Every structure is written in C-alpha cells, then in structure tokens.
Copies of this chain bind each other. A is one copy, B any other.
C-alpha cells in the first residue's frame, strides 16, 4: 500500500503540466543525398519524454530523425534540420510550462546546400558552414520563459562547460554527460548524468537510459514544483 501510494503520488506529479521536448539529431543537407549529422540516437530524449508522460505531463515531442519507435506522447512532430526544429519549437514554446532540450541540434549548417548531387572532382573541397539559431537560448530568453532543462554532451571538461551553459543561457537545470570513448552517451544503452541547477546538483550514476530517464523526470518534477511555488 505504501508502494502504491508513492507510485500514485509520482503519477500525479506532472498532471496538467505542458512539456515541450526536443530529441534526436538534426541533419543538415549538403546536397540531396549528403548531410552533416551527429551520433545522437534519440534514445535518452525518447525515454525522458515517456517518463514525463508517465508522470502525467502533456508531452509534445519534436524529434529529429531517429530509428527508434517513439514513446506514447500527446503529440509527435517530426523534423529533419535545425531550422525545421527551430520553427517547430518557436511555434509551440509560448504554450508550454516546461521546455526540455535533449536534441543534439547541429550548431552549423552548410551555407549553400546544392540542389543536385555534388560530383566528385578536385582532390580537396572546402565547405562553408553558417551558425544555426540557438533554440534553447531563445526559449530561455522569452519574456515569460518556461521552466527550462538543457543537456550538455561533452568529450571533456564536462562540469565546467555545463556550469557555463546553465549560466550563459539562463537555464533552470542542465543535465550533462561525457560522450566519446567508453563513457556511455551517444549510441549507447547506458548513460550517467551530472544534473546542475542554481544552488544544487545531483549525480545520477551509470544506468540504463530508461531508468535514468525516470530518475531525471522525478528530479525535474521536484525542481519544477519548487520553481513554480516560488514564482506564483
């Protein structure tokens, strides 16, 4: 009965809360067949979207290309490029209470994608890239921003980069992990996270992304409740 009661209170935790969540990689076309991509599988984002829905949240999932089956959420919006993800988020950011940015959005896109397949020729080729909009920073800088959770995937100096990103982008929380090598993260089933917020932090040790998503969802619900109480 205690277990049921606890589980019951967990289920209610995010009832009525509107969550907008991005997941997966983006693909930035060089031509109709080639693109700049990244190793995000969407696994962590999909698991977190499912875990937040399990806590009662109304989840809108904006997803880049992923081979995984999407979780059961209120709405699924499929996009491919960073600009498409930006448009999908911008159109919905004012109508959410919580924004979660798990997507690995390409920082740059080819300046001039070719309309037909680039033929090989020269021994070397220069590609000019231009910056994509910073979706997370834009949402966090809205006049009435939602409670915002960002992610940082770094190959080195993880905590330092994450603290900088939390502050610079004025996020409410950031979840950081090491990628590359044997340290979990992209393309793996397991991960570990260091979660930071103003005035606190928690380490979620290496576990499956599904378990990790459940723990992170509960932590997000706690922080959101505190933030909500303080601001209302």
Shortest Cβ distance from residue A103 to the other chain B in the assembled complex, whole angstroms: 13
User: A89-134: which residues lie under 8 A (CB-CB) from chain B?
Assistant: 104, 106-108, 111, 116-118, 120, 122-131
18 A/B residue pairs, CB under 8 Å, sorted by A: A27-B37, A31-B155, A32-B155, A34-B38, A34-B39, A36-B37, A37-B37, A107-B120, A116-B180, A117-B153, A117-B154, A123-B131, A124-B128, A124-B129, A125-B128, A125-B129, A126-B126, A126-B128
Residues of B contacting A131 in the complex (Cβ-Cβ under 8 angstroms): 120, 122-124
The answer for the CA separation of A27 and B155 in the assembled complex, in Å, is: 19
Against B, the Cβ 8 Å flags (1 = close, 0 = not) of A153-168 are 1111000000000000
Docked-complex contact A34 and B37, CB < 8 angstroms: yes
Docked-complex contact A33 and B120, CB < 8 angstroms: no
The answer for the CA separation of A129 and B129 in the assembled complex, in Å, is: 13
Against B, the Cβ 8 Å flags (1 = close, 0 = not) of A1-44 are 00000000000000000000000000100111111111110000
The answer for the CA separation of A123 and B35 in the assembled complex, in Å, is: 19
Residues of B contacting A126 in the complex (Cβ-Cβ under 8 angstroms): 126-129
User: Apart from A32-B155, A32-B179, what 13 extra A-B contacts exist at CB < 8 Å?
Assistant: A31-B155, A33-B180, A34-B38, A36-B36, A36-B37, A116-B155, A116-B156, A116-B180, A117-B154, A117-B155, A117-B179, A124-B130, A127-B129
Chain B residue with minimal CB distance to A36?
B36
The oligomer's copy count stands at 2
The answer for the CA separation of A38 and B120 in the assembled complex, in Å, is: 14
Residues of B contacting A179 in the complex (Cβ-Cβ under 8 angstroms): 32-33, 117
User: A162-176: which residues lie under 8 A (CB-CB) from chain B?
Assistant: none
Q: Is A67 an interface residue (CB 8 A)?
A: yes
Docked-complex contact A186 and B33, CB < 8 angstroms: yes
Docked-complex contact A123 and B130, CB < 8 angstroms: yes
Residues of B contacting A67 in the complex (Cβ-Cβ under 8 angstroms): 67
Shortest Cβ distance from residue A110 to the other chain B in the assembled complex, whole angstroms: 9
Residues of B contacting A118 in the complex (Cβ-Cβ under 8 angstroms): 107
Docked-complex contact A108 and B120, CB < 8 angstroms: yes
